[in-house]
Amino acid sequence: MAYNKAREEKKWRLWKEAEEKQLRSLGVSEDTIEQLRVHDWAIFNSDRRYYQRMQEAGTYLDEVAEDTTPPEIKTVEDFLDNIENQQLYQVLIKVDRLTLQAVLLQLQGFSIAEIALMLDMKEYTVYKRLSRLKEKIKKLLG
């Protein structure tokens, strides 16, 4: 919920009036009450600035998080377009499309069994293709 300065100030004033009434009933001097009021007002303003900044920072961070959401990769072409490492890209463009499709499905969270069903392959074949690709990438990255 957003920080509402007017609402918070109203709550502070009601609290301060009740406190000052109690201090007067205890015989505290008006100078001391005024000093407390100035001191408490400074603290209130400090807190207000803090909460407003936190709200602004939170809003900023929410916007940054929305802006950095990775694009959804739906096709092998999208997958290849998002590869930033040039050496890795060179390895992947030489791999057959079926293996890349298996990689893409695995990145999307599908199990080997599910990938095998989708690509009409045996589980062992999917596993072997992915293993060979991993070995090529390991050799590349050293």
Mean pLDDT of 55-64: 61
Torsion sign (Cα): 16, 21, 26, 29: positive
Query: Which tokens belong to 69?
Result: 């959401």
Residues 9 and 61 in one domain: yes
What is the number of structural domains in the chain? 2
Q: How does pLDDT run across 70-125, given as a tens digit for each residue? A: 567 778 888 888 888 888 888 888 889 899 899 888 888 899 999 999 999 999 99
Quick one: which H or E segment has residue 105?
helix 97-107
Measured CA to CA, the distance from residue 82 to residue 62 in angstroms comes to 24
pLDDT value for 20: 92
Residues 42 and 61 in one domain: yes
pLDDT value for 91: 83
Selection from 139, 3, 127, 106 nearest residue 58 by Cα: 3
Q: Is-contact 99 133, C-beta < 8 A?
A: yes
Residues 50 and 84 in one domain: no
pLDDT band at 30 (very low <50, low <70, confident <90, very high): very high
Residues 63 and 96 in one domain: no
Residues 62 and 80 in one domain: no
Residues 43 and 100 in one domain: no
Tallying the residues shown for the chain, one arrives at: 142
Q: Is-contact 114 105, C-beta < 8 A?
A: yes
Residues 137 and 80 in one domain: yes
pLDDT value for 82: 81
Residues 53 and 81 in one domain: no
pLDDT at 4 over 80: no
pLDDT value for 27: 93
Domain residue limits at 93? 76-141
pLDDT at 69 over 60: no
Measured CA to CA, the distance from residue 135 to residue 132 in angstroms comes to 5
